[in-house]
Structure 1
Amino acid sequence: MTTDLDRIVSRLARDPGPGLTPGARELLDEITRMPAAMPVPAARIRRRKTMALVPAVFAVVLAWALTAPAQAALDIQREGAFFTVVVKDMYADPTVFNAELRSAGVPIQFHTLPVSPSRVGSIIDDGTATPPDAAGPELPWSSGPGRIEPLGPCAASEPCVLGIRIPVTARVQTVIRLGRPAQPGEVYRSAANLDMPGELLHCVPFVNRTVSEVGSLMTVRGVRHVKWVDLKAGLELDPPGSWFVHEGRAYSDDTVLFFVGATRSAATDAC
């Protein structure tokens, strides 16, 4: 059933810029603090030639400082037979992540994806993951010794450290996708049911309540948009208020999706 619902949902539908590293900032400050050299009469001609070069040298150093790489997007540490990778800029472009991983000798590709709250910090299989050669159908993080593991997952009530633990024997074709908090307006690439721990309606009864009741509940909760989907047809619709809600799914930070039907469901609330 979950696979079918994922298929239905899939049919519906910063650039950080250059920055100054601490070293670059320190060098730039030192240059701007340097006092002007006292004139030396005996070397007036030589001094003029030298001083003529100062603006050009300063321009080169300033350009280097302003275009130096910003603070790393990842913190990568080698710990025995594993690499520990902590995400410092969760919204960085994948090319930035992968360049830093290559520089540190970590043989994987790495992305972050917007996910619903209960899946933040989890490794996500969005259907496009590439397992290593000769690994069979099993993904490299699913089980067994030396597997790739998240440092989370992150519980909603606890501080969250996004990251992964990778064996040094991982292969370059392994693609890891880690769930991160969504930015405003982003549709979740992986979402949990609304009654799961950490989600909007955990321990709030809504299964087999009417569309009218659940719609009012969403208004009280401050949800801006609600999508209603006919569970049998898999199509979005505007259902009668007397229909029943069978299941709810997080969709984005301001939108939820409910699967509904004309009759009650055998399902019950998770709590």
Structure 2
Amino acid sequence: MSKIDRLVAAIDPAPHPPEQGQDARELFHEIVATPSKARRRVRWPVVMPLAAMLAAAAVMGVAFIPTDAPSGIAPATALAFQRSGDDWIVTVKDLYADPERFASEFKARGLDIRLSIAAGSPSMVGHVAATDNSEEPGIEESVECEAGRCAASFRIPGDFKGSAQI
């Protein structure tokens, strides 16, 4: 026996399998003789048309939902409205929102205000251009910019009835 054979023999804890007894042979034959349950075969000719009908029903169901029906998840608001005495304090939460979205949020509060936000040169940062078509006291603007981020807010009189373009 070579040196390697002796090392391998020392590693192998059971160089020869133990003899099978009568109980082990009986268990083996019992396991082998037990019939296994046959797997159910998937019937593709039935499954495929059923899946196609369900998909068509889902598409048709979505097609007939009215566009103005409420959905499960409401989009986040682009403007935050807060009362301060009789006035509204409006803070722009989403600077990248569509002007139509801003208009619909103002309209939901009964205000005829159009707001659009555009990028400007560094000298224009923090400036607001507004036209107020009302006879009443106007809208006060406030823009604060820090480290390239700006937050715009507006004080709108609670009895504001005119229209404005900001």
TM-score by length of 1: 0.32
Which has the larger share of helix?
Answer: 2
Higher relative contact order (CA 8 A, sep 6+): 2
Q: Considering only CA atoms, is the larger Rg found in Structure 1 or Structure 2?
A: 2
TM-score, structure 2 normalization:
0.49
